Amino acid sequence: MDKVAVLIPCYNESKTVKKVVEDFRKALPEAAVYVYDNNSTDGTGDLAREVGAIVRHEYQQGKGNVIRRMFREIDAEVYVMVDGDDTYPAEAAPEMVRKVLEGQSDMVVGDRLSSTYYTENKRPFHNFGNSFVKNCINRFFDTNIQDIMTGYRAFSYQFVKTFPVLSHGFEIETEMSIHAADKHMQVDHVIIDYRDRPAGSVSKLNTYSDGFKVLTRILSLYKNYKPLGFFSLLAEILTALGVAFLIPILTEYWATGLVPRFPTLIVCGFVLIAALQSLFAGLVLQSMEQKNKQDFEMQLIAAHEAYKNLQKDEKEQEQ
Integer Cα distance of 129 and 126 in angstroms? 5
User: For residue 230, what pLDDT is reported?
Assistant: 94
pTM of the model: 0.83
Integer Cα distance of 17 and 40 in angstroms? 12
Contacts for 2 with CB less than 8 Å, ≥ 6 apart: 31, 32, 74, 75, 76, 77
Integer Cα distance of 81 and 6 in angstroms? 6
Integer Cα distance of 79 and 160 in angstroms? 8
**Each residue of 245-271: b (16+ CB within 10 Å) or e?**
ebeebeeeeeeeeeeeeeeeeeebeeb
Q: Are strands 76-81 and 187-191 parallel, antiparallel or unpaired?
A: unpaired
Task: Give the three-state DSSP class for 75.
Answer: coil
Task: Give the three-state DSSP class for 221.
Answer: helix
CB 55 within 8 A of CB 49: yes
User: For residue 122, what pLDDT is reported?
Assistant: 64
Please list the residues that pair with 155 across neighbouring strands: 79, 107
Opening angle at CA 278, ends 274 and 284, nearest 5: 140
Task: Give the three-state DSSP class for 89.
Answer: coil
The helix or strand, by DSSP H or E, that contains position 77, with its residue range, turns out to be strand 76-81
- Per-position pLDDT tens, the chain of length 319: 789 999 999 999 999 999 999 999 999 999 999 999 999 999 999 999 999 999 999 999 999 999 999 999 999 999 999 999 999 999 999 999 999 999 999 999 999 988 878 777 766 666 777 888 889 888 888 888 999 989 999 999 999 999 999 888 888 999 999 999 999 999 999 999 988 877 776 666 666 777 788 888 888 889 998 999 999 999 999 999 999 999 998 998 888 888 878 889 999 999 999 999 999 999 999 999 989 888 888 888 888 888 888 888 877 777 6
String of DSSP letters for 108-157 = EEEE-TTTTHHHH---HHHHHHHHHHHHHHHHHTT---S-SS-S-EEEEH
Closest CA to 29 of 11, 49, 3: 3
User: For residue 124, what pLDDT is reported?
Assistant: 65
Q: CA dist 270 to 17, 85, 261, 284, Å?
A: 59, 54, 15, 21
User: For residue 240, what pLDDT is reported?
Assistant: 97
Any long-range contacts for 197-203 (C-beta under 8 Å, 24+ apart)?
A: 197/16, 197/85, 197/86, 197/87, 198/15, 198/16, 198/86, 200/15, 201/13, 201/15, 201/16, 201/85, 201/86, 202/12, 203/85, 203/123
Integer Cα distance of 61 and 204 in angstroms? 12
Q: Are strands 107-111 and 153-156 parallel, antiparallel or unpaired?
A: antiparallel
Q: What is the pLDDT of residues 164-221, one digit of tens each?
A: 998 888 889 999 999 999 999 999 999 999 888 777 766 666 667 777 888 888 888 8
Closest CA to 280 of 242, 239, 236, 235: 235
